[in-house]
Amino acid sequence: MGSLGLELGTAAVAFLVAFPLTALLRLPTKAGRRGELIPKIGGLSILAAFVAAPFVMALFSDKARDFVSGDFKAFLALAGTGAVVCAVGARDDFRDIDWRIKMSAHFGAAVVLYISGFRIGEMTLPGGGNVELGLLDPVVTVLWIVLVTNAINLIDGYDGVAAGVGVLVAGTMSYIAWDLGHDLIAMLFAALAGASLGFLPFNLTRASRFLGDSGAYLLGFTIAGLSVNGALDSTGRVPLYIPLVALGLPVLDTGVAFVRRVLDNKHPFLADHDHFHDRIERMLKLSRLQVTLVTYVLTAVFCAGAVLAHTWYKSAGSAAVGAGVVVFALLLILVLGYGSSMWNSARILSLRGRHPGAEERV
């Protein structure tokens, strides 16, 4: 079996595990919008499929067996820490827990993953050039993992959004890792994509299963951990800008949410209803399914940018793609009205010598 066939086979196995498991599992949690009990079991089915798929493939492929046995400790570290993050999210799904407890768990799991060898080390820049992280390596690596873990959760506002974004990003990174010759990481990304795809049909219109914090945190944590090891180039450096571009939508949404909350004198880690998907729904007056599809299109654009950045790696083309992605991100922020919102935020108005609400009183 060729290596690309190995990735496709792993994705298929993960799908075949996640799909029936999602259908069978019914663990009702706190009441939903209409007072019904919501089965938030996305994390359980995705985790089970992600862990099972490589071992099932190892039964039929010597290459898969070599991958799993040769890097078993690294895989065990990722699966174990991912399970902890998933469990913390599941606990929050059943009963709300303080955000500080969740963040502490995310930081702790990220530190364990770093100690287990999931490290950035050196960063390759668009167009070439390298940055040695040195003593900053643990800080940057842990912050990257925690950022992506929470970014995926923050976009999980509407049915199918986070799971679909997970499919697109994991699928894109699987191809890039395969093209770089990192077949085990490509296989694991494929397993994550297949597991998410197996869950997704139950999470779209009139969703009967929900991803919950358990699934969203697991998706983000696993993507972040794999991207640290999965985007290694031939010299062993990590072009981190490639997974960063692929994750452009959730990372951008998270950054904007943090900044606008601070500018409005609000707690940066407390939830609100002013994310990208919320504004897309309000501005375009779309249905929830249409909002989900728009987020898929936007994610596909960022993923295409990641593939192009990889294709023109260490060339002027990669830098040009990076510039294009930045322009696209800025336009998206402005089109959704965040530029105006931030300009008229409480802190900026104060710096301008004005007071919140002055515009309305004129």
Read off the pLDDT of residues 44-69 as tens digits, 9 standing for 90 and up. Answer: 999 999 999 999 998 888 888 877 77
Average pLDDT over residues 301-306: 96
DSSP state of 61: -
- Could you read off the pLDDT of 244-294 as tens digits, one per residue? 999 999 999 999 999 999 998 888 877 788 899 999 999 988 888 899 999
Per DSSP, the three-state class of 238 is: strand
Task: Count other C-beta atoms under 10 Å from residue 21's C-beta.
Answer: 19
**Position 200 pLDDT exceeds 90:** yes
Phi, psi of 130 (to 5 degrees): -130, 150
Which residues are CB-neighbours of 312 under 8 A, at least 6 positions away? 318, 320, 321
Which residues are CB-neighbours of 127 under 8 A, at least 6 positions away? 314, 315, 316, 318, 319, 322
pLDDT at residue 39 in the model: 66
Task: Point out the least confidently predicted range of 44-53, 125-134, 139-148, 205-214.
Answer: 125-134
Contact between residue 305 and residue 325 where contact means Cβ atoms under 8 Å apart = yes
Query: Which tokens sit at 305?
Result: 């940018």
Strands 37-39 and 122-124: unpaired
Helices then strands, each counted (H, E), the chain? 17, 4
Contact between residue 304 and residue 223 where contact means Cβ atoms under 8 Å apart = no
Q: What is the CA radius of gyration of the chain?
A: 20
Domain of residue 15: give its range: 3-361
- Whether pTM exceeds 0.95: no
Which residues are CB-neighbours of 186 under 8 A, at least 6 positions away? 3, 7, 174, 175, 177, 178, 230
Q: What is the tally of structural domains in the chain?
A: 1
Structural element, H or E, at residue 297? helix 288-311
Q: Which residues pair with 37 in a beta bridge?
A: 31
- Could you read off the pLDDT of 94-123 as tens digits, one per residue? 888 888 899 999 999 999 999 988 888 877
Contact between residue 174 and residue 261 where contact means Cβ atoms under 8 Å apart = no
- In the chain, which ranges are continuous DSSP H helix? 3-24, 42-58, 62-70, 72-94, 99-115, 137-154, 161-179, 183-199, 212-230, 241-246, 248-263, 276-284, 288-311, 316-335, 338-343, 346-351, 358-361
Contact between residue 197 and residue 46 where contact means Cβ atoms under 8 Å apart = no
